[in-house]
Amino acid sequence: MITLALSKGRIFEETLPLLAAAGIEVLEDPEKSRKLILPTNQPEVRVVLVRASDVPTYVQYGGADLGVTGKDTLIEHGGQGLYQPLDLRIAKCRVSVAVRADFDYQQAVRQGARLKVATKYTGIARDFFATKGVHVDMIKLYGSMELAPLTGLADAIVDLVSTGNTLKANHLVEVERIMDISSHLVVNQAALKLKQAPLRRIIDAFAGAIRQD
């Protein structure tokens, strides 16, 4: 049995064409079903639905043989125990710093300054501000980061930006891009040895179906 870990929503949707290239069709719609294990047209392949931030953990410990996860999530996880053979070029976005439009960010990040930063991405944020020589008081959040500067919880957020609509709707401005993000295929290292042929077949099919635009 080959187990693939996906999260509901954009990762599931954007992985479907890659699965199709491998001849794999998921037989149930996760938006309609409450099931967490979804069968496919290939009896020896199944999909497990996990929280996006749990995908690397499932694959690391062998709860799944492979999975699709954002580079953001992968960096925060650390990548231990994972092969990362492919950048799938799906779910593209960026990690950025954003502040209230009336906040003087340039003044706030001058060398040696202190900044209150709210984010789900504490590892990425810590590295970024350390490189700039800015001391950070880090506030870990799990969602709705945009609220933090609006309520006085933080001066800045580090969050994902795609169209910029979420920032705009909350009167925030993007002041720095930290890194570009896309989703990657991750594979359990032991599984790649033990189930080499079927996993290689899937990896190769995914590789051939990656969009280059």
Ligand X SMILES: Nc1ncnc2c1ncn2[C@@H]1O[C@H](COP(=O)(O)OP(=O)(O)OP(=O)(O)O)[C@@H](O)[C@H]1O
- Binding region for ligand PRP (CB under 6 A): 159-166
The edge-to-edge listing of strands for the beta sheet with 183-188 is 37-39, 45-49, 2-6, 66-70, 183-188, 82-87
Q: What Rg do the C-alpha atoms of the chain give, in angstroms?
A: 19
Binding site for ligand X (CB under 6 A): 7, 9-11, 51-53, 70, 72-73, 91-93, 160, 162, 181, 183
Q: In the complex, what is the shortest distance from the CB of residue 147 to ligand PRP, in angstroms, rounded to a whole number?
A: 11
Q: In the complex, what is the shortest distance from the CB of residue 46 to ligand PRP, in angstroms, rounded to a whole number?
A: 25
14 contact choice in ligand PRP, ligand X, none (CB below 5 to 8 Å, kind-dependent): none
The residue ranges of DSSP E strands in the chain, in sequence order, are 2-6, 37-39, 45-49, 66-70, 82-87, 93-100, 114-119, 135-140, 156-161, 172-181, 183-188
Q: In the complex, what is the shortest distance from the CB of residue 165 to ligand X, in angstroms, rounded to a whole number?
A: 9
Nearer to ligand PRP, 160 or 209 (CB): 160
Q: In the complex, what is the shortest distance from the CB of residue 72 to ligand X, in angstroms, rounded to a whole number?
A: 5
Q: How many helices (H) and strands (E) does the chain have?
A: 9, 11
Q: In the complex, what is the shortest distance from the CB of residue 189 to ligand X, in angstroms, rounded to a whole number?
A: 22
159 contact choice in ligand X, ligand PRP, none (CB below 5 to 8 Å, kind-dependent): ligand PRP
165 contact choice in ligand X, ligand PRP, none (CB below 5 to 8 Å, kind-dependent): ligand PRP
Are 65 and 59 in contact, with CB atoms under 8 Å apart?
yes
51 contact choice in ligand PRP, ligand X, none (CB below 5 to 8 Å, kind-dependent): ligand X
- CA gap 85, 18 in Å, rounded: 14
What's CA 203's distance to the chain center, in Å?
19
72 contact choice in ligand X, ligand PRP, none (CB below 5 to 8 Å, kind-dependent): ligand X
